[in-house]
Structure 1
Amino acid sequence: MGVQGLIRSVPGSDKCLILGRDADGNWVVCDERGLVGGLFADRASAVHFALFESEFAPAAVVCIPEGTVLNLQRISGDDDKPPQH
């Protein structure tokens, strides 16, 4: 199951935040539209941010499985756009 499948499986959530690591091993939080998120030094900071942004609704935070790489461009739909200079 891809990250998109995990997003759709969260019941009754207006906002879903995804928590995981990027290809460089950084902790990442982002919403399904790529509008909210950030890079974090540690997991605790990422979880705190995700809970705050979801108004402390734990069901709105999806932690992707360890070893899965979170690709922010793919979630936000930016992978078809050319790089900006």
Structure 2
Amino acid sequence: MKLVEPPSCHSPSSIVFIGRNHSGQWIAQEQNGLYGGLFVSRAQAIKYALFENGQHPETIVELPREIELDMGKSPSLSQRPA
């Protein structure tokens, strides 16, 4: 029997940001830092975001700039040009 944690999301309308960090790893993070993770592929980041947000792809935003995992506040974007 495989145990699976229940989704962390309390509101299906919460935004989940995905993007790459400075090392090229994929990040998925809820806008308020309620949940997030580090992933080796875009597909895994999206799969996690969909699981956590209750299967709402319309609330996933892929950022064109770098994002760093920050579980204390909204994700920070790098200041480098895209």
TM over 0.5: yes
Identity over aligned pairs, percent: 33
* Alpha-carbon distance in structure 1 between the residues aligned to 2:40 and 2:62: 16
Q: 2:7: which partner in 1?
A: none
Unaligned runs of 5+ in 1: 1-12, 80-85
CA deviations over 1:29-53 (Å, ceiling 9, x no partner): 0011112000001111111001111
Give 4+ residue runs of structure 1 displaced > 4 Å after superposition.
none
TM-score, normalising length: structure 1: 0.65
Aligned AA for 1:36?
Y
Compute the RMSD of aligned alpha carbons: 2.3
The alpha-carbon deviation at position 54 of structure 1 amounts to 1.2
Aligned length: 64
What does 1:1-85 align with in structure 2 at a 5 Å threshold?
14-65=13-64, 68-73=65-70, 76=73
Secondary structure of 1:76's partner? coil
* Alpha-carbon distance in structure 2 between the residues aligned to 1:59 and 1:22: 22
TM-score, normalising length: structure 2: 0.67
Unaligned runs of 5+ in 2: 1-11, 77-82
Secondary structure of 2:51's partner? helix
